[in-house]
Amino acid sequence: MKKIILIGDSLRMSYDKYVKDALEGVAEVYYPTENCRYSQYVLRHLHDWKEKHEWPADIDLVHWNAGGWDVSEIYGDPPLSSLEHYADMITRINRRIRLLFPNAKVVFATTSSVVDEQYEGRRFQRHNRVIEEFNATAIKVLEGSGTVINDLYAHSLKAPMEYRSDAVHFGTDEGRAYLGKKVLATICGELNITASEVKLEDFKPEDYTADNIAY
């Protein structure tokens, strides 16, 4: 069977079990039990997750994202990470993935969109114009590295509003499936495998706590 790792923040936590269920019998799907948060956190903890969860070295594909926390604007401050810092982190994470999993294909997912107006007046904000800048930066620094881009941002913009559970998350069953199917399409295309249908009436996501998911 193929071996796949999913890395990412709370958006990954919304679709990880969906992807795992769809690939049952075809691939082993691994992911951290925590929110992978911002880019520097991923760089710091990636090797720890590998050891803690006993991920094998012969991984076939790593699908990863970092950005949702990096773009966060708190109390009117600029984004948590500057574009220059983010570019450096994305470059180094990509290099670290290839060091830890040398045989793996690598897929970077762009940070998904938010509902701008739902952030108005809040101390914690995200904006699509900022997300677009960060996504463009990530894509630019990954050029020539062999990393495949999965444009979850563009995909998320097309999602019906009822698929969203708040300004940023796709915590509904339909939302999980919407993101999950896009991730599956990319993974299956890269590994030449076929996913099974996941029946939403029978689907049970991971039982993450609110503290696990964070924001």
* Tens digit of each residue's pLDDT (9 = 90 or more) over 148-181: 999 999 999 999 999 999 999 999 999 999 999 9
Does 215 have pLDDT greater than 90?
A: no
Task: Encode pLDDT of 117-138 as tens digits.
Answer: 988 888 999 999 999 999 999 9
Whether 213 maps to a domain, the answer reads no
Question: Do the domain assignments include residue 36?
Answer: yes
For residue 163, give the CATH number of its domain.
3.40.50.1110
pLDDT of residue 81: 98
Pairing of strands 2-7, 148-150: unpaired
Query: 15 is in which domain, residue-wise?
Result: 2-200
Tell me whether residue 145 is in a domain.
yes
Q: Helix (H, G, I), strand (E, B), or coil: what is residue 29?
A: strand
Which structure tokens are listed for 141? 């620094």
Cβ atoms of 188 and 27 within 8 Å: the answer is no
Is the model's pLDDT at 48 over the cut of 70?
A: yes
Q: 66 near 21, Cβ under 8 Å?
A: no
Per-residue pLDDT at 213 exceeds 90: no
In a domain, 208, yes or no: no
d(CA 53, CA 73): 32
Q: Cα(40)–Cα(37) distance, rounded to whole angstroms?
A: 9
The torsion angles phi and psi of 131, rounded to 5 degrees, stand at: -60, -40
Residue 215 lies in a domain: no
Residue-averaged pLDDT of the chain: 96
Number of folded domains that form the chain: 1
How many angstroms separate the CA atoms of 203 and 215, rounded?
A: 23
User: Over 80: is that where the pLDDT of 211 sits?
Assistant: no
Is 120 exposed, middle or buried, given 0-12, 13-18 or 19+ CB atoms closer than 10 A? exposed
